[in-house]
Structures are given as C-alpha cells and as structure tokens.
Amino acid sequence: MNRRTFCNLAAGALLSKDLLPAAAAQSTDHASSRLRFTRANSGAWPFVESGEGRAPNILFISADMVGPDLYHPSRPLSRHVQIPHIRSLMGDGTFFSNAFCTVPLCSPSRASYLTGRYSYILGNGERAPNGLDSQLRPDDTIFPEYLKAAGYVTRQVGKCHVGAKKFLDAFGENDQPWDRWSPPVFDDDDFLAYQRSLGVKPQKYSREIVFKMQDRKSPGNSVGGWIVQEDGKPFPLEAHYTYYLGKKAIETVESLIENGSAKRNPIYMQLDIFDPHQPFSIPAGFEERERELRKIMTLPGSYDAAQKRNFERAPNEPEIIDIYRRYWGIYDPQQLIDYRIAYILQVELVDHVIGMVLARMKELGLYDDMLISFISDHGEMNGRCALVDKGVYLYPDIVRVPLVIKPPRSVPRAHATVDSPVSLLDLSRTLLDFAGIKPQAKLDGVSLVPYLRDGHGSEDRTLLFFGGWHVGVNFDCGIQHRAKDGHRYLYAYNCTSRQDELFDLDSVDAVNLIDSPQHAQVRADLIDRLGVALQADPRWVGYWSEFRIARYNDLPKTTGDMQLFTMPA
C-alpha cells in the first residue's frame, strides 16, 4: 500500500465504517512497501515505508506547561481564557479530552513523546544528580528521524531539553535547539539582532512576582511578570521571544517553498514554544485583558484549605508536596491572583503567535492538506494545594495535557472530541502512521488513527506515570483507570512517603480520596492493576521491588525469592 492509498483508505474508513473494515485501514501491503533504516550505514532502527505517493506536510506545535484551566471545557476558568486560534484548530481537528503525559517534567516528557517510549530520563538536567540520565542517548531514535530518513525535509525552532545532539540528528546541523528549561532571551544572538532591527532594547520587569522563602519574609523564587524595555519604554509584542519563534517558523517554511524543497519533498516543521511556562514575560498590549481578568479571578479551594492550615502539611499529603509548598512559598494570596492572571495572559500571547503561524499556512495554501498537531509537554498546578508549576508528584492537573490533531483534507474529521484515555506516547506512532511509516522497533504508544475514525479507543489501556528527581526526590509511579462508577481515577504510589494518593481525574480541584471508604474498591483495583503492570515490564523492576513489599497486604499473595535471583538456563 502506498501513502496515497493509505490516506484514501483512512479517509474512507472515517467517512463510513461500512465502506472499509477497520483492519484494512491499518494494514501494510508488504509487496509495495520497502524496508528502510534511519541510519542506513549501520542498518539501525528499521522501518517499513509505503512505496509511492506523497505524504502530508506536518506542522507540530508544542507549548510548555499548559494546565487544564487554560483550555479544558470542564474547567470554569477556561471560559475566561481567550485562545481563539487554538480553539479554531480544535474545531478543524479532534480534541483528545483525556490526554496525559508520562512524567510531568519537561525533559522526561519530551523524551517520551519524541521516542514513543516510556522514558528512562526522570529529571531535568538542571537538577539531576551525577549518574541520572537527563539527555537522550546517541542510539535512541526520535520520530522526526524516521521522517527525515523517509524523505521529509525536517526543521525545528525553539526548545529542545532532551540533548541538542539528538535534535541535530533529526533536523540537521543548522538546527539551533536550546537545551535548557528557560529561554535564551539574553544570549540568543540571532534573537538579540532581531530585537535591534526593531529598535527594541532588551527586556526588564516593570512588575515582578516574587514569592517568599520559608521565613515568609525574605524574597524567594521569581516567576516573572510584566516587562518593559530596559529604558522603561513599552515592550512590543513583536519583539517578544515567542513571537520571534513563530516568525522564524514561518520564514523557515517560506524558504523551503522558495528553494523548491517543498515541491520535491514533504515538510515536517516542529515549533517548540517555551510559554506559558514561567518566568512570565508579558509585553505591552494586554492591559485591558488584565483588568478584565482581575474582575473574575478567584483562588482554588485547595489553596484556601492550605492557608487555613497555615500552609502545614495535611494528614493525607505525601512529604514531597510539603517540600514543593515550602519551595514556592506562596503565602500571599494576592501574589497567587497575580500569578493566575499572568499565566492566562501568557497563554493568550501563545495563542496569538499560533494564530499568526496558522494564518500564514493558509495564505501559502498549505493548511488544508497539512497534518497539524498541538500539545503541551505537561500541565500546571495553577495554585492548587498552594503550588504552581509541576514536580515529581502525580496530581491530575500536571499529568493532563492538551492534544489536538487536525488531519489533512484527505482524511476528513469524523469526531470533534475523543474522550478515551490517550498518552503523548501515542503521538509518534500517529504522525508516522499518517506519513506511511511503520517503525519495526518496540514503541509503547499506539496510533490514534483508529480513534480519529471511530471516536473512541480502549478504556482498558494501561497508562503509567512516573517521577524522579526535581526540586525534591520522589521516585513515584501511578496508573489511571475508569472505574465502574464512570469516573476516571489516578492512583499514585510515592516511594518517599507512606502516603498513597487517589484522585478523581474528572475533578476541578482534586482532593486525595485514598482514605475514603466509598472509594476503597477503586483503591484496591488500582493497586492491583499497578502491581500487574510493574511486574510485566523489566523496566519497572526497581519500582516493583519496593511496591510489592510496601503494599504486600493489598496485592495477591505470592511466595518465593524476593532478591530476584536468576537460575542459569
């Protein structure tokens, strides 16, 4: 089956299940397929590629740390967030309302969805101790490498954070990925030259949100705020780093059209935006929006509860939450109001830039036939439990992510929303499926093409979550599942605490239900499911080794050696 045939069959399946069996849309005609390799000299990382036809151009956009408050229709606050261009993309494509990352930290999550495998990276490089992997290894392969080997012209703009060398493998030696958590707004020479061309001086804060140390007096972490030029003049949106990245992505596509590359080969364009991750940098032009948001902004109930406890650890909270609460030091509720407003303004800036990119794709005549996907690498606490950002703990708001796929015109949208649980792990298989590429390696994700066609997928999928090292250390693991009561739950086992957690994933301000009598059966089921999953995969032996001891009374009884002694064959 060639790529054109694949797209036509998939489109037919989307239009009518009766026209084509589901299996046919997924099948591979080996007679017309070719075995290829991402590294031809060594024969490494083979894949099967369809023989003929042209694969769709692909635009993949990632933002950083987009919590459900900003976009999810179940969240009341989302009604006050103005993101018309992201919502327009949702309208043209399919929104996966229950999409999750694997590890709620930048590097591990990006490593997961780029490789399509659960990540051995469990911490960001800035805080990882010596010996803990924080970059992908040279022999790993990320999905853009498959696209490149199959003939795609691959380009990337923005954040990397999995090791720049791997991005050079995928996008070529002229790529300029920045491999750190924060943007290079003061040391990206090309960006600074761009600012100078606009007659704009570097940024400084006019209003800065600075939380407190544990003494509740001394200045602590800065999370950014509102910016002006260093001479005090207004800082224009056009000189903002995110605007610059969007402009650079547009110019990259325009160059590929101008030099003829886009005619000869399909394009894969990856735009990795840092915002709305803090530190915030809100330019001029958002003054009226700020006034509007101040009229409606409130605080989460779990913040109020923490304030009433004088920000001490609750009886059913693991110690790691207390570590993060003291790290952030959000003792002043007005500062959290400022944070939540700035967070919304920052994602509205991101939306403006995404709108600019999509508009140009339409002007170039690329949009309709282009596969476009939008994601975030992880979510955000946004004040819940008196926390912001994310960390090495498992809470619904930091594992839930936006995932939108707009298929090319040859595969008409069949469903506006898919509620079945999916993972960012699925992204690689899905995009490669649309390109007619089938990796022969073991990937942990699944293709979402059947979900796009049928409007649902399996509710019994095992989706796992992990953590490691960040502000604190907590090698946690967890699992989600839909219970008989219709709710989806997240069970988290924290290796550094005796306190487990159980959250209703459908809750707006989730509380720990682990000791709730009415959820006892849900707890038991999820402990059992997690035990089965940890036993089944040798990658999780480190978690299983402790979990089976700590939860011995909750797991099916086993006998035998606990030291994992192996007899010779």
Each residue's pLDDT tens digit, 76-122:
999 999 999 999 999 999 999 999 999 999 999 999 999 999 999 99
Residue 34: which pLDDT band, with cuts at 50, 70 and 90?
confident
Task: Say if domain 3-454 classifies as CATH 3.40.50.10380.
Answer: no
The predicted structure's pLDDT at residue 562: 81
Asked if 471 contacts 127 with a C-beta cutoff of 8 angstroms, the reply is yes
Asked if 433 contacts 449 with a C-beta cutoff of 8 angstroms, the reply is yes
Asked if 411 contacts 425 with a C-beta cutoff of 8 angstroms, the reply is no
Write the pLDDT tens digit of every residue in 524-536: 999 999 999 999 9
Q: Average of pLDDT values for 282-290? A: 98
Structural domain spans, the chain: 3-454, 476-554
Residue 395 to residue 493: CA distance in whole angstroms:
12
The 10 Å Cβ neighbour count of residue 260 is 9
**400, containing H or E segment:** strand 400-401
Share of the chain above pLDDT 90, in %: 86
Residue 553 to residue 550: CA distance in whole angstroms:
8
Half-sphere exposure of 329 (CA within 13 A, CB side): 16
The predicted structure's pLDDT at residue 146: 97
Q: Is the dihedral of CA 333, 335, 339, 340 positive or negative?
A: positive
Q: Average of pLDDT values for 298-304? A: 98
Q: Average of pLDDT values for 6-25? A: 37
Pairing relationship of beta strands 94-96 and 417-418 according to DSSP bridges:
parallel
Which residue has better confidence, 475 or 32? Answer: 475
Residue 304: which pLDDT band, with cuts at 50, 70 and 90?
very high
Distance separating the N- and C-terminal Cα atoms of the chain:
43
Residue 84 to residue 24: CA distance in whole angstroms:
37
Phi-psi region of 386 (alpha: psi -120 to 50; beta: other; left: phi over 0): left
Instruction: Report which of 352, 395, 425, 385 is spatially closest to residue 119, judged by C-alpha positions.
Output: 425
The predicted structure's pLDDT at residue 31: 44
- For residue 135, give every residue at least 6 positions away whose Cβ sits within 8 Å of its Cβ, in sequence order, or none: 107, 121, 125, 162, 163, 165, 166, 179
Residue 421, preceding peptide bond in cis (omega within 30° of 0): no
Write the pLDDT tens digit of every residue in 233-278: 999 999 999 999 999 999 999 999 999 999 999 999 999 999 999 9
Q: Which long-range contacts (CB under 8 A, 24 or more apart) does 305-310 make?
A: 306/385, 306/386, 307/333, 307/386
Residue 15: which pLDDT band, with cuts at 50, 70 and 90?
very low
Share of the chain above pLDDT 70, in %: 94
- For residue 497, give every residue at least 6 positions away whose Cβ sits within 8 Å of its Cβ, in sequence order, or none: 318, 319, 320, 474
Integer-rounded Cα radius of gyration of the chain: 24
- For residue 256, give every residue at least 6 positions away whose Cβ sits within 8 Å of its Cβ, in sequence order, or none: 153, 155, 262, 267
Asked if 478 contacts 485 with a C-beta cutoff of 8 angstroms, the reply is no
Residue 129: which pLDDT band, with cuts at 50, 70 and 90?
confident
Across the beta sheet with 422-423, the strand order is 400-401, 99-100, 422-423
Q: How many residues does the chain have?
A: 569
pLDDT higher than 90, residue 1: no
The predicted structure's pLDDT at residue 25: 38
Residue 17: which pLDDT band, with cuts at 50, 70 and 90?
very low
The predicted structure's pLDDT at residue 560: 76
Residue whose pair of structure tokens reads 């089976």 in the numeric block: 548
Residue 32: which pLDDT band, with cuts at 50, 70 and 90?
low
Query: What is the overall mean pLDDT for the chain?
Result: 92
The predicted structure's pLDDT at residue 13: 41
| DSSP 8-state class, residue 193 | H
Write the pLDDT tens digit of every residue in 329-369: 999 999 999 999 999 999 999 999 999 999 999 999 999 99
Q: Average of pLDDT values for 544-548? A: 94
Judged by DSSP in three states, 154 sits in strand
SS3 content of the chain, % helix, strand, coil (to 5): 40, 20, 45
Residue whose pair of structure tokens reads 């012209």 in the numeric block: 153
Half-sphere exposure of 97 (CA within 13 A, CB side): 15
Question: CB burial class (10 A; 0-12, 13-18, 19+) of residue 486?
Answer: exposed
Tokens, residue 267: 């394009």
CA dihedral 234, 158, 63, 152 (to 10 degrees): 140
Tokens, residue 320: 């790691």
The 10 Å Cβ neighbour count of residue 562 is 10
Pairing relationship of beta strands 371-376 and 58-63 according to DSSP bridges:
parallel
Write the pLDDT tens digit of every residue in 480-525: 999 999 999 999 999 999 899 999 999 999 999 999 999 999 999 9
Q: Average of pLDDT values for 157-177? A: 96
Asked if 271 contacts 350 with a C-beta cutoff of 8 angstroms, the reply is no
